Structure 1
C-alpha cells in the first residue's frame, strides 16, 4: 500500500540471533562478577578494599560481604549477586564458590551457543548432570560422621573454619558453637514435623566488653539486658513461675478521645478511680495464677508496680518480641495477650533460677538452669568491642558449620577434591551418551574443575602441571584416590583424609544446585526489555496538558 506505514517483519533467524546476543551478553556480565571475587577463594585469598559512601574502608576476603557493597546495573550481574545472598541465608558458607562455579558454567555454555545449539538442549543436559552429581555426592563421594562424638565434632568444626578464626578463640568458638546448636536442636516430633535448628531466632549472641575470651559461654537459658522495674522487687528467685504478657499493665486511654469535659470536682476524682479500678482488675487477673515473675513487652504503670510489689512479684518490662520468643521456648510458657485469659498451662515453670546480675555498668537478668531449653543466649567476653565483633563474625561461621553437620551428618573432602571427583565421574558417565546432550553434559563436569584450578592460581603454583597431576590421581584405581585435593597454602597435592580437611556435604550440595540453577535461568533469557511504569506515562500526559493550557492563556488575554 503506497504511502502507508512500513511494516518490519522479523524472520525466525533474526529472532534467534537476537536471543543469542542477549544470552552472550548475560554470560559476559556473570563472568565479570565471578572474576571480581575469583581471587578470594582459599586460605591464600587476596583481600578487597571496600570504600563505603561515608568514606569508611573495610578490607575483607568474604565473598558475600564484597558483593553486598558492589553496585551493578546489568540484571544478569544482579542475579549473580543475589545467589551469594541465597547461599549465605541457606547454609552460611560457600558464597565465593557458588559465584565462581556459576560464572564458569555459563562460560562453558558460550561454545554451544555459538554452534547454534538451542539453549533448551543445553539446559536439559545440565539438569540431568545436576541430578547425577547430587546422587553421586550423597552415595559415593561423602562419608558419614557421628554427631554424638564431641571431640570429633570439635575437630571437624575447627577444620571447616580453616584460617578464619583466631588461634586463641579457636577452641572456645568450636565448643560454644556445638553446645548452642545442640541446645536449640529440635528433634523430629511425634507429629511428623521435621527436625529444626533455628540458630538465628533462638541462639542470640550478647557481646559484653570486659573479662577474658575464655569466659565466653553458652547459658542453659536466656540472658536479657534488663533490670526489675522496682527497687524492692526480688532479684533472685529459685524455680520461678513466670508469666509472659504481650500487653500493657497501664490504663488504656480512649484511642479517639481528644477531650474530656469536667464540670465538678467529683468528675476528676471519678476519672482517677476508673483508672485505679482498671489497673487493680488487671493486676488481680495476673496475680490469680500466683506468678513469681512477670515479663511484658509493653509498659508497667507505677500503680501496677505497687500492687505487684505488695504481692512479692518481680517485673521485667519492654522486652523485644524476639527475646519474648526465646524466653517462651526456653521455659515452656505461652505469651498471653489479655491478662484475664491467663490459665495454669500458660505459666512457664521450666526455669531453675531467675537472677539479676550487674556486669560493669549494666544490669542483666538471667533465666538459667532451664530443664529443657530449646533456646539459649551465647555470652561473649573480650577486651574490646573490635575483638568482640571479630569473635561474633567467626562464631556465626562456626554455628553454621555445626548446624549443617548436625542436620545432615555427611562430610566431603575439601581442597577441591570433591569437585574433582564429581567432575571425573560425570565426565566418564557422559561418554556413554550418544545424543546431542553429551557435549553440554560433559562441559558441566569440566566446569567443576574451576574450584581446584582457582585454589592453585591463588597459591601462585603452576596451574597446568598441578591440575594434570590431580586429574591423574583421580583416574587411579585405589579406593581413596578421590580424596586427593590441593593444599590451599602451598598449591601442592595433598590427601584430604590424611590431613583431616573436610567440608559439610550440605554446603557442597547447595553450591551445585544454586550455581547450576542460576546458569539455567540466565540461559533461558532471550531478551531484556525495559518497561515504563503506567504512572509515569500518565504523569507525562498530565504535564503536557498543563503546558498546553499555559501556552493558551496569554493568547486569550490578548483577545480581551
Structure 2
C-alpha cells in the first residue's frame, strides 16, 4: 500500500475532495480487514516476521499492527488507534480497528449521495452520545471484592486469546497481581501494573508452574561465593551509590616518589571503604543491594560481618523491592538511618533455574509490588502468554476504577444498534441516514464473531436482532459454536470502561478521517525525480 505522492506542479492532480475521502476510507478498510479474523475465541493467529528475523505468533490486534509497515497516512492513523486503546484500557484493540473501519465504510454511500461530511459527523456525534446512554442503561454493577465475579470477567478477555486453555490459571495470576499492587494514595485508588507488576519469563517447565510471587524476583547472584544464599526475615538496605573508592574530582595525576607514598594511597582507599562499610553495618543489615558497583575490598568487609551483597540492580527492580519490603532507597551511606531498613520480607534465597541464578525475596508481609513468574516450553509461547496476561491485568485494573459490566459476545453492540435504528426514525432530514448507519456499523462485531467460527451470519444475525427487538438486551453470540445465547447464563461480560473507550475511539477517529479533504505530500520534487529539480532549460524565458 503506497502513499499517494502529490507533487505540487501544474501537470499533476492533487487528491482533493471526494477522491481524498475515498482514499482514506479504502486505506482504513484495508487495515481493518488485516485483523478481522483475530476477533473472538475462534480467531486465527498471525505469524509476523520482524526486521531482525525473529517471529511473533499472536492474535492481539495491537501487537500485529505494531509490526505492520504502511505508507498511507490514513492507515498510519488507524494503527495509532490500537496503540491508544492498549495504553488507555489494555483490551479491545482488535474491536476498535474493525469498528473504525466499518464506520468509514458506512459513510462512503452518504458521500456518494452528496451529503456533506459535517452533516455525517454531526449525526455520528449524536449517535455516540446516545450509544453511551444505552450502555449505561444495560450495564450492571460488580463487586470488586467478590473473587468469583472478577475471575469470570477477566476470563472473558482471555477467552479469545491463545492462553484460553489455561484461562483459570491466568485469570488467577492477573487478579492476584492487580490486587497485590493496588493501594490507596492521597485518598485515590492507585493500580500501577506497569511499574510494580513485573513479568519474568523463564523458558522451560510447564505453563501450569507459573505463579505470582508475594515479593520480587531478580536475575542476580551474590557478589562473593562465601556469602549467605538463604536468610529468613532479612534486614534489607537499598542503596543508589557505589561502594567503591571515590577518587578526587580534579585529581588527575599523583606523583609518587617513594614506596611509603604508595602505601599511604592504598591506605586512604582502604580507610574510605572501611568507613563506608561501617556506616552500613551500623544499622545491622543482613542484605545490601546497590544499583552501582561494589569493590572487592567492600565485599571483603561486608562478608566478614556476615552481610550478603547484590550489585548493579536495575533502578526499576530496586523501586519494586523498596515497595515490597518497606525499605527506603538511600543515596549516601552517611545518611542511612534505622527507618530506612526494610524488614517486610520473610525469606531471601537464591535458586538456580536452568543455567541462571535467580534471587527471590518472598513471603513479604504487605507487598505492594510483585513478580509474575511465567514458565513455558519456548520463548515464542512465553511472549504470547505475556501479551495476553498484560491484557487480563488491564481488564482487572479497569474494574477497580469503574466497577460496571456490560454483556459481551456482541450483545452490547446489538442492543445499541437496535436502539439507534428506532431513534433514527424520529429524526428529520438527511441526518437520520448517517445516524442509523452507526447502528448498522456496530453489527460488524457480532457478524465477525459468527464468521470467525464458521456460522451463517445472515440467519444468526436475524435471530439476534429479533431477540433484541423483544427487549432481551443480554442476548449475544456464542463465539465458539456460533449460536445465539443469553450472556447472563453463558457468563461472558466485558468492562464498561473498555466498551465506552472502544466506541469513543472508533467513532471519533472515523470522524477525523472524514474531515480530511486534501492529501498533500511533503516529498520534495528533487527526491521524486531522482536528481536535481527539473527547471526550465538554460537560457529559456520564464513563463509569464
Asked if TM exceeds 0.5, the reply is yes
Aligned mates of 2:53, 2:314 — CA distance in 1: 33
How do residues 26-105 of structure 1 correspond to structure 2 at under 5 angstroms? Answer: 26-53=24-51, 58-105=56-103
After TM superposition, the structure 1 stretch with the greater mean CA deviation from structure 2, 410-419 or 106-115, is 106-115
Deviation at residue 319 of structure 1 after TM alignment: 0.7
Contact 1:205–1:379 (CA<8 Å) still a contact in 2? Answer: yes
2:178 to 165, 176, 181: 181
How do residues 179-218 of structure 1 correspond to structure 2 at under 5 angstroms? Answer: 179-187=176-184, 189=185, 191-192=186-187, 194-218=188-212
CA distance change for structure 1 residues 463 and 231 in 2, over 3 Å: closer, same or farther?
A: closer
Deviation at residue 213 of structure 1 after TM alignment: 4.0
Counterpart in 1 of 2:291?
297
Counterpart in 2 of 1:224?
218
CA distance change for structure 1 residues 119 and 451 in 2, over 3 Å: closer, same or farther?
A: same
SS at match of 1:354: strand
Deviation at residue 272 of structure 1 after TM alignment: 1.9
Counterpart in 2 of 1:501?
492
CA distance change for structure 1 residues 300 and 210 in 2, over 3 Å: closer, same or farther?
A: same
CA distance change for structure 1 residues 63 and 167 in 2, over 3 Å: closer, same or farther?
A: closer
The answer to whether residue 514 in structure 2 is matched with residue 516 in structure 1 is no
Counterpart in 2 of 1:11?
none
Superimposed CA distance per residue, residues 446-505 of structure 1 (whole angstroms, 9 cap, x where no aligned partner)? 21111112222333333333222222211114xxx0111122233322222121122222
Contact 2:153–2:495 (CA<8 Å) still a contact in 1? Answer: no
SS at match of 1:418: helix
- Which of these two proteins has the greater Rg computed from alpha carbons? 1
How do residues 154-553 of structure 1 correspond to structure 2 at under 5 angstroms? Answer: 154-166=151-163, 169-187=166-184, 189=185, 191-192=186-187, 194-253=188-247, 259-382=253-376, 385=379, 388-434=382-428, 436-477=430-471, 481-531=472-522
CA distance change for structure 1 residues 433 and 345 in 2, over 3 Å: closer, same or farther?
A: farther
Aligned mates of 1:295, 1:57 — CA distance in 2: 37
After TM superposition, the structure 1 stretch with the greater mean CA deviation from structure 2, 49-58 or 126-135, is 49-58
Give TM-score, length-normalised by structure 2: 0.87
Contact 1:466–1:493 (CA<8 Å) still a contact in 2? Answer: yes
CA distance change for structure 1 residues 214 and 421 in 2, over 3 Å: closer, same or farther?
A: same
Aligned mates of 2:292, 2:51 — CA distance in 1: 37
Give TM-score, length-normalised by structure 1: 0.84
Aligned mates of 1:44, 1:380 — CA distance in 2: 25
Aligned mates of 2:516, 2:391 — CA distance in 1: 35
SS at match of 1:356: strand
SS at match of 2:350: strand
Aligned mates of 1:531, 1:394 — CA distance in 2: 39
Aligned mates of 1:251, 1:435 — CA distance in 2: 82
Deviation at residue 98 of structure 1 after TM alignment: 0.7
Aligned mates of 2:87, 2:358 — CA distance in 1: 31
Aligned mates of 2:76, 2:336 — CA distance in 1: 50
Counterpart in 1 of 2:118?
120
Q: Give ranges in structure 1 of 5+ residues lacking alignment.
A: 1-6, 9-13, 545-560
Aligned mates of 2:517, 2:319 — CA distance in 1: 47
RMSD between aligned residues: 3.1
2:141 to 140, 144, 168: 144
SS at match of 2:25: helix
Q: Give ranges in structure 2 of 5+ residues lacking alignment.
A: 1-8, 536-544
Aligned mates of 2:173, 2:296 — CA distance in 1: 41
Aligned mates of 2:29, 2:445 — CA distance in 1: 15
Contact 2:57–2:384 (CA<8 Å) still a contact in 1? Answer: no
Deviation at residue 209 of structure 1 after TM alignment: 4.4
Counterpart in 2 of 1:551?
none
SS at match of 1:140: helix
Aligned mates of 1:458, 1:387 — CA distance in 2: 23
Contact 1:169–1:391 (CA<8 Å) still a contact in 2? Answer: no
Aligned mates of 2:56, 2:222 — CA distance in 1: 40
Superimposed CA distance per residue, residues 117-144 of structure 1 (whole angstroms, 9 cap, x where no aligned partner)? 333332233223222222321x212222
Contact 1:226–1:316 (CA<8 Å) still a contact in 2? Answer: yes
SS at match of 2:190: coil
